[in-house]
Amino acid sequence: MGSSYEYDSHMDNLFSLVFKHLHSFRPVNFLDVGCGDGSRTIRVAQYFRIDAEHTYGVDNHEGLITNECAKLFHAKRIDLEMEPLPYGDNAYDLVVCNQVLEHLKNYDKVIHDILRVTRTGGYIMIGIPNLAHLINRIYLLFGIQPMCIAIKSQHVCGFTHRAFKKMLKATTGITYIDCAGSELIYPLPLPLARSLSRMCVGISAYVCYLMRKE
């Protein structure tokens, strides 16, 4: 299981929720908060048949925004720690924030800003690495630093599935719908992890959550 599969697993969670709950959803536009190089943004836009004119992304990496994303869709560079999303209230049918919040100290502000720019009745999808991933529990048992908040990594926050889910359910203005755990559960072999991920989301490497704005 190499890094390429791990990268794909971030999107597998998201699309499993899309296939289950949003197969008939037809968003007019879409915002990707933390769009990176734009490849994941394009995958989501293509699935929902959203054209480039109605696809938007923000990220703090100037090179990626200028050299990659701006050629594919509307992209802006912003510092999510310091700046609000540069869009009006109730602007987007779908907002995705995948593998971003763990990089931010001010993640709560970002969640509420995502809620602000999502239209009433629109959907929000948030993906995080799970601090309670099975391998992290084993590491802590032996006094080893958990993978998702490695000391020299760019991650500054860690969330367990249970705590993050509880926070989302307590957030005013959204209805929590469902979550999906990745098929990666280190150190288990992939066939066993695939089965367990459906029953034991809380030990998966990554979790994605689906909410609707009310």
pLDDT attached to residue 1: 37
Q: Using alpha carbons, list the distances in angstroms from residue 128 to 62, 132, 180, 209, 212.
A: 23, 11, 11, 9, 18
pLDDT attached to residue 4: 47
pLDDT attached to residue 198: 87
Q: How far apart are CA 130 and CA 36, in angstroms?
A: 20
Report CA Rg, the chain.
Answer: 17
Q: Using alpha carbons, list the distances in angstroms from residue 167 to 123, 171, 172, 176.
A: 17, 6, 10, 10
Residues whose CB falls within 8 Å of the CB of residue 40, separated by 6 or more in sequence, listed in order: 10, 11, 32, 98
| Domain extents in the chain | 3-213
pLDDT attached to residue 67: 92
Q: How far apart are CA 50 and CA 54, in angstroms?
A: 6
Q: Are strands 174-181 and 118-129 parallel, antiparallel or unpaired?
A: unpaired
pLDDT attached to residue 8: 78
CB 130 within 8 A of CB 67: no
Q: How far apart are CA 118 and CA 88, in angstroms?
A: 9
pLDDT attached to residue 194: 87
Helix (H, G, I), strand (E, B), or coil: what is residue 204?
coil
pLDDT attached to residue 7: 67
pLDDT attached to residue 10: 82
**pLDDT (tens place) for every residue of the chain, 214 residues total:** 333 467 678 889 999 999 999 999 999 999 999 999 999 999 999 999 999 999 999 999 999 999 999 999 999 999 999 999 999 999 999 999 999 999 999 999 999 999 999 999 999 999 999 999 999 999 999 999 998 999 989 999 999 999 999 999 999 999 999 999 999 899 999 889 988 988 999 999 999 999 999 9
pTM: 0.94
CATH number for domain 3-213, candidates 3.40.640.10, 3.40.630.10, 1.20.1090.10, 3.40.50.150 = 3.40.50.150
Q: How far apart are CA 170 and CA 115, in angstroms?
A: 13
Helix (H, G, I), strand (E, B), or coil: what is residue 134?
helix
CB 185 within 8 A of CB 98: no
Residue appearing with tokens 């200028």: 66
Q: What is the secondary structure of 53-77 as a DSSP string?
A: GGEEEEES-HHHHHHTGGGTSEEEE
CA-based nearest residue to 186, from 11, 12, 9: 9
